[in-house]
Amino acid sequence: MEKENIAVGLDIGTTKIVAMIGKKNEYGKLEILGVGKSKSLGVARGVVNNITQTIQSIQQAVIEAEANSGYKINDVVVGIAGQHIRSIQHTDYVIRNNPEEVISGRDIQLLIDQVNKLAMLPGEEIIHVLPQEFKIDGQSEIKEPIGMYGGRLEASFHVVVGQASSIRNVGRCIQSSGIELSGLTLEPLASADAVLSQEEKEAGVALIDIGGGTTDLAIFKDGIIRHTAVVPFGGNVITDDIKEGCSIIEKQAELLKTKFGSAWPGENKDNEIVSIPGLRGRDPKEISLKNLSKIIHARVVEIIEQVFTEIKAYGHEDPRKKLIAGIVLTGGGSQLKHIKQLVEYITGMDTRIGYPNEHLAGNSSEEISSPLFATAVGLVMNSIENNSNSAYKIELKEVVVETPKQVVFQQTTQAPVIEEKREEVANVIEDEVVLETESTEHKIKRSFFDRYVEKIKDFLDNAE
């Protein structure tokens, strides 16, 4: 039987950890087989700061995804973010031994390997080397050099660099959770794969992924990645501001933000008030929604202005570098009311909310199509590109118990064999054979007469 190409993505976020198992269906769309979600306890601003808690959260998400899908996870592609991420532009070249031979993928790989050996600052490591445009013997603006002739192959690269210790900590957490690390992907690139169309990447677009601990930015133009950045602020700082400003606990602040919060204070009337239960018998607190929106507005403006500074640093104001498709917002923070209007107001660029449903199969649940899961969907897509068999179906297993002249089978599908059932089968009495299948709980008892006939048959067979 042909092996299924099952892909697994693991999004280690600041607020949640998501393990997602998926495969491509016959229409080339992504079919999600199982999702596991757990509260992220050991991560701050996209960086692991408590190994033990992170391992527990990863295991919880993985177990849930396995239980939902009936697949066992081998390895995962993991998203990486955090304020230690930076990107640089670099140009490099190779001189080919035989210019009469056409350029192949091997030549490009040689060039990429050469860039991977670049000397970085102490404690830094290269995460991605992304070719942008190629030059062959001085002829520039070549997007696909394979199949062309030439002696000197040159390319400009977008190199993403991160802190080696942070990357190793992530690897350590995954291996300690009992799974292997098959690849690392920068989170904004994964989100971009999930929510952007090829047309937008060609026209020029900025993807802003507002997560819990960080806000990630990826800029595309002419179908090529041009700039990436990670701003060390996200939805959690908004919650902290509400907590301080209204003197309430974090859980209440988070609920206020998601249920009643708005990034545009003008929308709330002065007399709109929410009452919050007091702690341990204290009087309830009354909070004005207008004040709540003012707190949220101040912090969102700060985050968007920092991201807009990065967009300007790329050169958006240069007519040749203009991002015609504007901005796409995704991540949990993009679900804040009126954030689209505020981003348009601050940047003057067209904005839409990015949902990962374009690449998902039609029967996907509404929850998976939410911007919250954009990074996880992108990581699964990345894993599919690697042709990885990251998970395998928990096969039918047979537990064989030998009794005189009899064999008992127990079938299990989808879920792992449970210890109790093993014991149950081991204790099968000679008088009764139980056949259990997943579809029915039906038990067939074989009569004494049937067994008697079988024994006679055995006796006759042996006599021959």
Judge whether residue 193 has pLDDT over 60.
Answer: yes
Q: Are residues 404 and 333 in the same domain?
A: no
Q: Say if residue 141 is in the same domain as residue 216.
A: no
Q: Please give the structure tokens belonging to residue 333.
A: 């923070």
The reply to whether 409 and 340 lie within a common domain is: no
What is d(CA 169, CA 412) in angstroms, rounded to the nearest whole number?
37
In this structure, is residue 250 part of a structural domain? yes
- Same domain (yes/no): 430, 311: no
- Residues 144, 255 within the same domain: no
Q: Is 448 exposed, middle or buried (0-12, 13-18, 19+ CB in 10 A)?
A: exposed
> Is the residue at 380 inside a domain?
no
- Tell me if 47 is assigned to some domain: no
Kindly report, residue by residue over 173-182, the tens digit of the pLDDT.
Answer: 999 999 999 9
Q: Domain check: are 154 and 256 in the same one?
A: no
Q: Are 138 and 222 contained in the same domain?
A: no
Claim to verify: residue 216 and residue 320 sit in the same structural domain: yes
Using CA atoms, how far apart are residues 72 and 178, in angstroms rounded to an integer? 11
The CATH number assigned to the domain holding 114 equals 3.30.1490.110
Q: The pTM is what? A: 0.81
Provide the domain count of the chain.
3
User: Residue 270 sits in which domain range?
Assistant: 203-354
The pLDDT score that the predictor gives to residue 463 is 56
What is the C-alpha to C-alpha distance for residues 193 and 203, in angstroms, rounded to an integer? 16
144 shares a domain with 280: no
Q: DSSP labels for 172-234?
A: HHHHHTT-EEEEEEEHHHHHHHHH--HHHHHH-EEEEEE-SS-EEEEEEETTEEEEEEEES--
Phi, then psi, of 407 in degrees rounded to 5: -130, 135
More confident residue, 220 or 445: 220
Dump pLDDT digits (tens) for 126-158.
999 999 999 999 898 899 999 999 999 999 999
Which pLDDT band holds residue 225 (cuts at 50, 70, 90)?
very high
pLDDT for the residue numbered 215? 95
Distance CA 412, CA 391 (A): 18
Is residue 411 scored above 70 in pLDDT? no
Instruction: Please indicate, yes or no, whether residues 324 and 208 belong to a single structural domain of this protein.
Output: yes
Banded pLDDT at 230 (limits 50, 70, 90): very high
* Pairs from 163-167 (Cβ < 8 Å, separation ≥ 24): 163/82, 163/84, 163/123, 163/124, 163/125, 164/123, 164/124, 164/125, 165/123, 166/47, 166/48, 166/80, 166/82, 166/84, 167/80, 167/125, 167/127
* Residue 32 covered by a domain: no
Q: Is there a single domain that holds both residue 238 and residue 119?
A: no
Looking at residue 157, what is its pLDDT? 96
Residue the block writes with tokens 């008992």:
408
Q: Are residues 213 and 348 in the same domain?
A: yes
Q: What is the mean pLDDT of residues 354-366?
A: 86
Q: Looking at the domain assignment, is residue 190 inside a domain?
A: no
- Distance of CA 142 to CAs 63, 151, 218, Å? 46, 15, 22
Is 194 within a domain? no
| Per-residue pLDDT tens digits for 241-278 | 999 999 899 999 999 999 999 999 887 777 889 998 88
**Is 422 contained in some domain?**
yes
Task: Give the end of a domain, one of 135, 163, 191.
Answer: 163
Of 354, 379, 411, the residue at which a domain comes to its end is 354
**Does some domain include residue 219?**
yes
